[in-house]
Structure 1
Amino acid sequence: MIEIRNLSKIYKTKNGHVKGVDNVSLTIQEGEIYGIVGYSGAGKSSLLRCINLLERPTSGGITVGGIDLTSLKDGDLRLARLKIGMIFQHFYLISQKTVFENIAFSLKAAKTPPGKIKNRVEDLLEMVGLADKRDVYPSQLSGGQKQRVGIARALANNPNVLLCDEATSALDPTTTKSILNLLKKINKELNITIILITHEMNVVKEICDRMAIMQEGRVIEEGRVYDIFATPQEELTKEFIESVVSFEMPEVILNKCKGTIVKVLFRGEVAGEGVISDTLQQFNVKGNFLHGSIEYIQESPLGIFVMELKGENEEIEKALQFIKNRSAQVEVLRDGV
């Protein structure tokens, strides 16, 4: 488990002091994939670098696996860092070394006995799907392949935690998906806790169990990814989610609608049931679908529909109450005119 307690990081600049991380407290459970989301400058990368003390926090504490990292002296901190792997957006491979040598470098730096290095590197190459790239140089690799080398290098010393700093931001969508699948495989098979920094909600939706939204150095919202997608509280969170699931209706469409316009959210298995069709059969109302989809988050369905209901107000109220009893949320966007 990782505990971040009242952590702040203040930078000294020519223009004064800048607070990169502002009193953040988070608990990340062992074996989960945790996403930290925010725009550039939100403080998420500063927070990540504080977790393994690449940057020492100005105040607060970091406990990883029961060890308070901020209390360790240099030698003990170096040993503790061996159990915290890190992968980066821009790979940072050594161009003059082969794929094998890049991965072996981490093992040599940790003073691994030479006789154990060869087998360990070959096992890692097999795990990340690069066994056939053993002797090639980084310049001969695609972006996705370079990131696979970076992942193998981060796993070399059998870490318990893997920190990912915008690990997919430089990759195309197809390659991103393959890297996320690899991270899910690593998490499941090795039970490694993964903390993933990103500004892409698609990444969080695809891979994370829980998440935090950061703004101006602070965590403004935190919880299960499914719950945050279903019921976002903060405007910034809603903005991020709308980049993935957009339900903005064109005014020209809304102006044509004379009935009551509602947004209906279905959680869990009820998202796949025929609630709307049952409603239209049981009550004297007519329905017109305007927009909708079912998203799958951690394999659980989340259905969101925008529709127009026409009929007598009393019947519409009965229909809405029926839907509310069968779903998580009904929001009236506009009353009938």
Structure 2
Amino acid sequence: MISLEQLSKVYQSKGKTVIGVDDVSLDINKGEIFGVVGYSGAGKSTLLRCMNILERPTEGKVMVDGIDLMTLNSRDLRKARQSIGMIFQGFHLAMAKTVLENVAFALKASGVNRQERKRRAQELLELVGLSDKADQYPAQLSGGQKQRVSIARALANDPKVLLCDEATSALDPNTTQSILKLLKRINRELGLTIVLITHEMEVVKEICDRCAVMEDGKIVEQGSTYEIFADPENELTKRFIQTVIDFRIPEKVLSERKGTIVHMTFKGDSANESVVSDLLQGYSIRANILHGKIDYIQDQALGTFVMELTGERKVVQQAIQDLREKLGEVEVLQDDRSTDQSLARAE
């Protein structure tokens, strides 16, 4: 649906060259929800605006539904943009127009007659759950309701693609969840391809099929959302994931523990099975859970556990080896300290 080939955007500012997007190639499939995550200044919003040529790339190719937008003249580009809806963090509503008029305005620009504009606008307001707010003004709405109006307006011309630029960052957590559920429902019911720009990994976890992580204008990692969470490679990606799935144990707690501390990751079916208890029954060691959590990403379970294992050193090491063979993801955070302290006392 969307294909970016060696895309770059370079600005000249006060005699200096600023690279907004740096040689990005990306394919977004029809009907999926694709997330682009990064900190402020990473280039993600610039990348999004290049997808509909609101920012004209310095180099590269932008293909949307088989059309190279970079080759279109102004008239054909305006027509092509009708199939690409866009919503923003700041809503961008006309404060002097009613909710219904805000939604209908996009249809007026497309030459739709007044009666059809009203019918279509009412239909879209019902879709986003605001049919009872048609005659109100944006100032009378909550932030979440304003964003719903923005979504309805973006859908007015039956787009094939919906670009979302930090669409939930100005909203509280509960409202964010409701907007994400709405976007997911729109994606499912309308078959809409959605590209979501965000700095919140929790948003990516909740809604995205695949995602990419950006830093300094480049994509540093991309893949299915589940695999990105289950097996991140880039250090920036790992930091983002820690904001959602954090298994770090306070140093004070670790210093009070004498056994071997291990961090285990359970993927897929293993997250719902009694892998550890079944395996450790065959060993004369004790296991104490210090942290445990199971998340569901794309309807797949991803578990993370931190445990203290105590017992004879050789037996503990053999148990860890068997866990690695079973799970693959076992990291020793702290080795057995009881033996070391016993040796220190003996000396």
Quickly name the TM-score band, shorter chain normalised.
over 0.9
Shift of 1:321: 2.8
Shift of 1:324: 2.3
Which consecutive unaligned segments of at least 5 residues does structure 2 have?
338-347
Secondary structure of 1:282's counterpart equals: coil
Cα separation, 2, equivalents of 1:92 and 1:113: 24
Shift of 1:180: 0.3
Shift of 1:122: 1.1
Q: Which residue of 1 aligns with 2:264?
A: 264
Q: Which residue of 2 aligns with 1:154?
A: 154
Q: Does the 8 Å contact 1:267/1:328 carry over to 2?
A: no
Cα separation, 1, equivalents of 2:312 and 2:70: 65
Shift of 1:319: 1.5
Deviations 1:149-188 (A, max 9, x none): 0000000000000000000000000000000000000000
Cα separation, 1, equivalents of 2:297 and 2:93: 33
Secondary structure of 1:223's counterpart equals: strand
Cα separation, 1, equivalents of 2:309 and 2:229: 25
Cα separation, 2, equivalents of 1:173 and 1:13: 37
Shift of 1:267: 0.3
Secondary structure of 2:281's counterpart equals: helix
Q: Which moved more, 1:312-321 or 1:42-51?
A: 312-321
Q: Which residue of 2 aligns with 1:309?
A: 309
Q: Which moved more, 1:128-137 or 1:284-293?
A: 284-293
Q: Which moved more, 1:251-260 or 1:307-316?
A: 307-316
Asked if 1:45 is matched to 2:51, the reply is no
Matches within 5 A, 1:245-284: 245-284=245-284
Cα separation, 2, equivalents of 1:140 and 1:300: 40
Q: Which moved more, 1:289-298 or 1:49-58?
A: 289-298
Structure 1 residue runs of 4 or more that deviate by more than 3 Å after TM superposition: none
Q: Does the 8 Å contact 1:12/1:18 carry over to 2?
A: yes
Shift of 1:314: 2.8
Percent identical residues: 59
Cα separation, 1, equivalents of 2:102 and 2:34: 27
Q: Which residue of 2 aligns with 1:196?
A: 196
Q: Which moved more, 1:322-331 or 1:94-103?
A: 322-331
Deviations 1:88-117 (A, max 9, x none): 000010000000000000000111233321
Q: Does the 8 Å contact 1:212/1:220 carry over to 2?
A: yes
Secondary structure of 1:121's counterpart equals: helix
**Amino acid paired to 1:329:** E
Shift of 1:257: 1.6
**Amino acid paired to 1:253:** V
Matches within 5 A, 1:81-230: 81-230=81-230
Cα separation, 2, equivalents of 1:115 and 1:137: 21
Deviations 1:59-82 (A, max 9, x none): 001101111111111111111100
Secondary structure of 1:35's counterpart equals: strand
Deviations 1:96-141 (A, max 9, x none): 0000000000000111233321211111011000000011100100
**Amino acid paired to 2:245:** V
Q: Which residue of 2 aligns with 1:237?
A: 237
Cα separation, 2, equivalents of 1:286 and 1:261: 12
Shift of 1:334: 2.2
Q: Does the 8 Å contact 1:36/1:198 carry over to 2?
A: yes
**Amino acid paired to 1:168:** T
Paired positions, count: 337
Q: Which moved more, 1:272-281 or 1:150-159?
A: 272-281
Cα separation, 2, equivalents of 1:248 and 1:143: 34
Shift of 1:328: 3.9
Cα separation, 2, equivalents of 1:9 and 1:129: 38
